[in-house]
Amino acid sequence: MSPKFVYFFGGGNAEGKADMKHLLGGKGANLAEMTNIGIPVPPGFTITTEVCDAYYKNNQRYPEGLDREVEQNLSRLEKLMGAKLGDAANPLLVSVRSGAAASMPGMMDTVLNLGLNPDAVAGLIKKTGNERFVWDAYRRFITMFGDVVMGVKRQAFEDVLDKHKKKARVKTDAELTAEQLKIISEEFKVIYKKNTREAFPNDPKVQLQKAIDAVFSSWNNPRAVKYRQLYEIKGLLGTAVNVQAMVFGNMGARSATGVCFTRNPSTGENKFYGEFLNNAQGEDVVAGIRTPEPIDSLKKEMPEVYKELVRYKNSLETHFKDVQDIEFTIQEGRLFILQTRNGKRTTQAAVRIAVDMVNEGLIDKKTAIGRINPSDLDQLLHPTFDPKAKKEVIAVGLPASPGAATGKVVFSAEDAEKMAEKKEKVILVRTETSPEDIGGMHAARGILTTRGGMTSHAAVVARGMGKCCVAGCGTVHVDYKSQVFKVDGKVVKRGDYISIDGSTGQVMMGQVPTIEPRLSGDFAALMVWADEIRKLKVRTNADTPTDAKKARALGAEGIGLCRTEHMFFGENRIDSVRQMILSAPDVKSLKSKISGLEKEIAKVSNHKSVVLEKELAKAKKELKEPLALYLSSLKKLLPMQRRDFEQIFTVMDGLPVTIRLLDPPLHEFLPQEDHNQKEMAKQMKISLKDVQEKVAALHELNPMLGHRGCRLGITYPEIYDMQVQAIIEAACNVKKKGISVYPEIMLPIISTEQEFSVLKDSVNKVAKETLQKKGVQVDYMVGTMIELPRAALIADKIAKHAEFFSFGTNDLTQMTFGFSRDDVGSFVPDYLEKGLLDKDPFQVLDQEGTGRLVEIGIKEGRSTRPELKVGICGEHGGNPQTISFCHKVGMDYVSCSPFRVPIARLAAAQASLQQPLSRSTV
């Protein structure tokens, strides 16, 4: 059988139906469905999306047989309407509209009133007796055909229209007379010919073919392509084309056109919502030429039509089981429904509507869960900019942490803290942030960086704090010395107001008004339903009691990542940390020297050992001072760390807390800028030269692959011993108070079985001694982050010792791709634009490569230890697509920043609905 390219609808029957959107597009499928259920739809036919696909694959030529099918269906339409396209006495007019499987409102093209020419105009005037209506329809057709089909600038037509309105001293098109519209139509033809170098076509068949060509061509117009990119619409064949008999809302006082929603799309209230215009066509409502009237006014002006419209809107919502966005036309008192589709709505409305529809019995809980895009919940959890506000966008970076923030520009963390103390709102602008900026980041309303990606320090910390952040904004150039930043010829000084949107990456001048988030009871109900369905647990990444408390309030079921290094920047402790770091290299060097001398002495004769023993004594003497400083610093940090853990354990009473021992390289705790190094030297009563030498000594060419993570624990075991002691002492202290505590100690950057075995023995030794000393029994676990490819590949060996795995996918992605996560902003956008990458792998887990390592790690780990607990604690843990993957491969939990916990809960529920759970069977 030859393929069918055209589907008819009309006369109470349609060849298509609602579930054929892939073939007929959303509009065509719904027109067919409405026809089948008795809704008054103007008849017509739909040319399928397969034609669009063939059109582009065949060098913009149509498949054989299409012309014949179009002609047959046009004849059928003419017969049903009792009118003929191009007939002088009884002309049929049609609209030609686009319609893809996914809704893309306004992105593709439409032509109305097709079929008009001088003969048809005369015939229609005679038939209707309404000369003004006909000339109005004709001038609209010339405008739309010229603009959409032939690319004539619409403004050229609008200028002529405005000239005539001004001459006639009227404000609206509706006030122009038939004679004036006739003159305007003739002038429009002149404009058309001038711009296209051909006369306006009078043959309706030529008009129709050109309009069909234009709609198919609009599938790849820039705005449609951009829309599909923004909304990640993929896998579609193309657009369908709908050719439909025209009905007219511009035939006089008892005619109108409008758009309505079955519920309020802004608030979700179950109240009929919409607007209409008397004596107008649909384009007038969209264009804003006249101010529409609220739909309630139709009840007064045409009560019977209003009742009919309410009946149909109720019928459509019940049939489609979702909010409907309906276009309608009233022609001389007769109602027609031109289109229905699932209505776009705000997130606040989406949540309310989903919950209301469950309570009304229209949908079930599972359907309600599937209706909400998890990422959209950000709009409910963070401030947003007022959509009505004017915005002067000066730059666009990466949307690193959602929310909206306005404040005065500052360029240092110190300034941010000082100004925040004075109750001033600030935006911290940095080339990039480092751990020493933590205080300023906390004080600022938002953070803007010119370098770094979605998992840079600024992005990760901002998300954890719930702060708005725009990262990697490369067009912004910061001049710290002059205290300004420059962008596109504009100079923004310290103290100037800017606004940043962490959801879009936009940077704006001035103070843009914001709207504060509000969580409703409907939101809570939706989350309860999600929790009933999901299999994955959802934990949070939290380093402070405040973050932990917020996350628990948002539904977190534990802490999956507590970064101990962030605690080191707290009040009165950074000096102790720095003292420890400054003395640590000397301690290490001297200990190594002493060990070497002792081995050498054991090998030589007594008379030769005398010299060596003198050297040994000297080394031991030299060790005393730096060792005392080193151990003294750790002793000072111990109660601080213990207090941190006590507070977090208390907040997370009854829930597990995974604590990662120190991970970043030591140089990150030392100031890199000259003025900060001077300040440190002054505070620590040492020379600036000493500080600079220590900073230089700790410098590494590639610190992310250098002396960090468990390597620090091997080199400086006292640091990890102090942290383990603090964790276990804190656990004992809170348990004595009746708090249920479940500490999980996590060793980072493990790459060999031996590393983990040595460090675990050390952890257990300190823990055992501490528990005996405290006289309390606390169950704890020791596990590791799998963040290196090698660790994933030898996971079976590591799992002999590790009681849990947590995949650190930020580093695992970095190591797998060989991409620096702090520098990807300089090239990944090019990769995305050129199609070399489908997604930024630091935002959405790369399942083909990095994900494969995750699967291997889980399978190998559970082959050794079947009960192995497995989670993810990278920033991917809050990404819905990644969460679906985590569910599929059988993880036990995901962990994400506090404000993404609800997103993860909903995404985990959707993953459970979409696919069965697998556990270590990958």
Q: What tokens were used for 141? A: 């057709």
DSSP H/E element including 354:
helix 347-359
**Can you give 133-173 as a three-state secondary structure string?**
HHHHHHHHHHHHHHHHHCCCCHHHHHHHHHHHHHHHCCCCH
Distance CA 56, CA 220 (A): 10
Residues near 763 by Cβ (< 8 Å), separated by ≥ 6? 720, 724, 745, 747, 782
Distance CA 263, CA 7 (A): 31
Which among 724, 716, 766, 725 has a CA at the least distance from the CA of 587? 716
DSSP H/E element including 213:
helix 204-217
Distance CA 908, CA 901 (A): 10
Helices marked H in 396-507: 413-421, 438-443, 457-465
Q: What tokens were used for 611? A: 């010299």
Q: What tokens were used for 160? A: 């002529």
Pairing, β 393-396 against β 506-509: antiparallel
**Can you give 81-121 as a three-state secondary structure string?**
HCCECCCCCCECCEEEEEEECCCCCCCCCEEEEECCCHHHH
Distance CA 743, CA 770 (A): 14
Residues near 207 by Cβ (< 8 Å), separated by ≥ 6? 114, 115, 145, 201
Say whether 896 is catalytic. no
Residue 331 pairs with which residues in a beta bridge?
A: 334
Q: Is 756 helix (H, G, I), strand (E, B) or coil?
A: helix
Q: In whole angstroms, how far apart are CA 812 and each of 202, 462, 750, 821, 882? A: 65, 21, 12, 11, 14
Catalytic position from the list 457, 566, 876, 887: 457
Residues near 645 by Cβ (< 8 Å), separated by ≥ 6? 659, 726, 727, 730, 731, 743
Q: What tokens were used for 540? A: 């949070």
Pairing, β 6-10 against β 13-14: antiparallel
Residue 490 pairs with which residues in a beta bridge?
A: 487
Which among 205, 328, 244, 247 has a CA at the least distance from the CA of 46? 244
Angle between helices 574-603 and 606-651 (to 10 degrees): 150
Query: Percentage helix, strand, coil, to 5, in the chain?
Result: 50, 15, 30
Say whether 473 is catalytic. no
Residue 242 pairs with which residues in a beta bridge?
A: 46, 97
Which among 712, 867, 708 has a CA at the least distance from the CA of 799? 867
Q: What tokens were used for 135? A: 């000339």
Q: What tokens were used for 285? A: 């409502």
Yes or no: say if 883 and 536 are a contact pair by the CB < 8 Å rule. Answer: yes
Residues near 910 by Cβ (< 8 Å), separated by ≥ 6? 369, 370, 374, 880, 884
Pairing, β 398-401 against β 393-396: unpaired
CA atoms within 13 Å, Cβ hemisphere of 718: 19
DSSP H/E element including 616:
helix 606-651
Catalytic position from the list 473, 562, 873, 886: 873
Catalytic positions, written as ranges: 457, 873
